[in-house]
């Protein structure tokens, strides 16, 4: 699987450096040619002689060691992949900021082919916001990150920061070197839509978009041509459309679907939206409706209203009367395109409806949003693209998922239980059931969303 591939391993000064000896052996056994470069401090943890014996190549630590006409850091960049393991916080930070104060860092800076970074450090260091920002920065730039596992650490504590096992590093290397989805076009939706009430308020849901984003990142890492349609902007090395509402998402998805090999609808799309969006902020204790309509305030007397229909007062009102049946109401004009009445009154517009605020209550009329998943399934011609839906349920998960896949007409449905606090919305973990048209079920146990994403993609393109 790695026959004749040239792999460059970079070792920084993490206690797990000794494990890389086994990784070198695994690469060699798979047919790869392996070269190793270390930071000077890494020599305190593993010897050059051991690595040279296992790799059958010279091992490099300092500049000016390579007996070639090219500068040493340039000569090393001719490998097919750079695997930095373990990658300390220091090495990660310097790579993220272009610092080249040793041979490994100079090589990493000049390396233009895939780079896999395998962090290993103390839990508090891993959770440090600066380290996390560096990881995000490198990920956005296209570096492959194999995030650390949770377990017992050399410092005597337990937590996230343990370097992934060498078998996992090997498998990730194979995945990067042999992209399974090369040439595939995949559209993924992510995030919870926002259905506007007025310029500052909206109806939404608890979806963070992490699952959809994990699928998009993983698909890209596996070689796919990815299009992400998300409710938020993201800085990624693939195409990203932002769709805040269900109607916006529907338009983009329908435009892009005919050009895709697969569409994965991971977004949480609101089922309903407000029928009468107010272009002005709704005020407390006010009644607001569309401009340009004839307005009548139905009341036995008293009260006041403002009308902005062409600067004209409502017909039949007597400005001078203090009270009367359907008259005597003080009337005046306001520019701005809205007709506003006081709470406690019933206001009607010819050709429009009002959102009535009586006391401390408000009534919003909701209308159904398009069912994007069902519509693209119905409009699909033939068996392509493959269409995958998501099903978030708080009860009767499997039963509801089976009903949904039959109703929607998609090829696969990914079901997860949102009643659990340890998975789902805004969590970094998930546990899902994959259901196909024949109602066969595959259970993927709790794991990181990145690993769940990989399993989902493998199931789709098996």
Mean pLDDT of 21-38: 96
Q: Would residue 280 count as lying in a domain?
A: no
pLDDT over 80 at 354, yes or no: no
Instruction: Please state at what angle helix 48-55 crosses helix 20-29, rounded to 10 degrees.
Output: 10
d(C-alpha 426, C-alpha 142), whole Å = 24
**Does residue 373 share a domain with residue 359?**
no
**Does residue 378 share a domain with residue 299?**
no
Tell me what pLDDT residue 293 has.
Answer: 39
Tell me what pLDDT residue 312 has.
Answer: 42
Tell me what pLDDT residue 71 has.
Answer: 57
Residue 86: name the closest of 5, 9, 173, 155 by CA: 9
Rg value, the chain, Cα? 30
More confident residue, 290 or 230: 230
Q: Would residue 425 count as lying in a domain?
A: yes
Chain segment 258-277, per-residue pLDDT in tens: 999 999 999 999 999 999 88
Q: Two tokens at 352? A: 């429009």
**Does residue 114 share a domain with residue 47?**
yes
**Does residue 131 share a domain with residue 86?**
yes
Tell me what pLDDT residue 319 has.
Answer: 38
Residue 264: name the closest of 57, 453, 23 by CA: 453
pLDDT over 90 at 437, yes or no: yes
**How much of the chain exceeds pLDDT 90, in percent?**
65
Domain end marker among 126, 159, 177: 177
CA distances from 336 to 17, 29, 288, 317 (A): 69, 76, 12, 22
Mean pLDDT of 286-305: 40
If DSSP codes are grouped into helix, strand and coil, which group holds residue 309?
coil
Tell me what pLDDT residue 66 has.
Answer: 55
Q: Two tokens at 166? A: 């060498």
| Total domains present in the chain | 3
pLDDT over 90 at 170, yes or no: yes
Q: Would residue 447 count as lying in a domain?
A: yes
What value does the mean pLDDT of the chain take?
A: 83
- The parent domain of residue 373 ranges over 185-273+369-460
**Does residue 406 share a domain with residue 384?**
yes
pLDDT over 80 at 430, yes or no: yes
pLDDT bracket for residue 78 (50, 70, 90): confident
Chain segment 384-404, per-residue pLDDT in tens: 999 999 999 999 999 999 999
**Does residue 115 share a domain with residue 31?**
yes
Tell me what pLDDT residue 12 has.
Answer: 97
Tell me what pLDDT residue 153 has.
Answer: 84
Q: Two tokens at 30? A: 């798979």
Q: What is the pTM of this model?
A: 0.63
**Does residue 240 share a domain with residue 298?**
no
The residues annotated as belonging to the active site are 155
How deeply is 302 buried, as exposed, middle or buried, from its count of CB atoms within 10 A (0-12, 13-18, 19+)? middle
Domain end marker among 364, 382, 413: 364
**Does residue 341 share a domain with residue 264?**
no
Chain segment 118-134, per-residue pLDDT in tens: 999 999 999 999 999 99
Estimate to the nearest angstrom the gap between the alpha carbon of 383 and the chain centroid.
Answer: 27
Instruction: Please state at what angle helix 210-221 crosses helix 449-460, rounded to 10 degrees.
Output: 60
């Amino acid at each position: 699987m790695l026959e004749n591939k040239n792999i460059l391993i970079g070792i920084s000064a993490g206690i797990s450096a000794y494990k890389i000896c086994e990784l070198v052996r695994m690469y060699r056994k798979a047919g790869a040619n392996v070269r190793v470069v270390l930071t000077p401090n890494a020599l305190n943890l593993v010897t050059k002689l051991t690595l040279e014996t296992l790799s059958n190549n010279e091992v490099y630590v300092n500049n000016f060691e390579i007996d070639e006409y090219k500068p040493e850091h340039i000569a090393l960049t001719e490998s097919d992949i750079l695997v930095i393991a373990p990658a300390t916080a220091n090495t990660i930070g310097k790579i993220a900021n272009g610092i080249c104060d040793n041979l490994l860092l100079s090589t990493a800076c000049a390396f233009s082919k895939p780079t896999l970074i395998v962090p290993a450090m103390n839990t508090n260091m891993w959770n440090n916001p600066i380290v996390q920002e560096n990881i995000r920065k490198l990920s956005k730039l296209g570096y492959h990150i194999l995030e650390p596992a949770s377990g017992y650490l050399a410092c005597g504590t337990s937590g996230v920061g343990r370097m992934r096992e060498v078998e996992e590093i090997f498998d990730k290397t194979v995945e990067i070197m042999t992209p399974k989805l090369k040439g595939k076009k995949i559209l993924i939706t992510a995030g919870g839509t926002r259905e506007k009430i007025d310029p500052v308020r909206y109806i939404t849901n608890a979806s963070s978009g992490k699952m959809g984003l994990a699928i998009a990142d993983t698909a890209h890492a596996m070689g796919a041509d990815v299009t992400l349609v998300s409710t938020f902007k993201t800085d990624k090395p693939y195409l990203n459309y932002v769709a805040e509402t269900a109607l916006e998402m529907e338009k983009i998805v329908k435009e892009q679907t005919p050009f895709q090999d697969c569409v994965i609808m991971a977004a949480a799309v609101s089922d309903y939206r407000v029928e009468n969006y107010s272009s002005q902020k709704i005020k407390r204790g006010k009644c607001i409706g569309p401009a340009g309509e004839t307005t009548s305030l139905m009341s036995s007397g008293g009260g006041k209203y403002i009308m902005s229909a062409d600067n004209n007062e409502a017909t039949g009102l007597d400005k001078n009367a203090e009270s009367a049946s359907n008259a005597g109401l003080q009337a005046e004009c306001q520019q701005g395109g809205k007709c506003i009445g006081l709470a406690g009154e019933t206001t009607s517009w010819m050709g429009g409806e009002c959102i009535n605020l009586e006391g401390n209550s408000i009534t919003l009329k909701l209308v159904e949003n398009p069912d994007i998943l069902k519509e693209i399934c119905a409009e699909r011609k033939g068996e392509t693209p493959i269409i995958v839906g998501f099903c978030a349920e708080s009860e009767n998960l499997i039963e509801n998922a089976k009903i949904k896949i039959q109703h929607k007409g998609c090829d696969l449905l990914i079901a997860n239980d949102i009643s659990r606090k340890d998975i789902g919305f805004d969590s970094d973990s998930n546990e899902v059931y994959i259901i196909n048209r024949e109602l066969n079920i595959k259970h993927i146990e709790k794991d990181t969303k990145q690993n769940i994403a990989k399993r989902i993609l493998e199931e789709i393109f098996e």
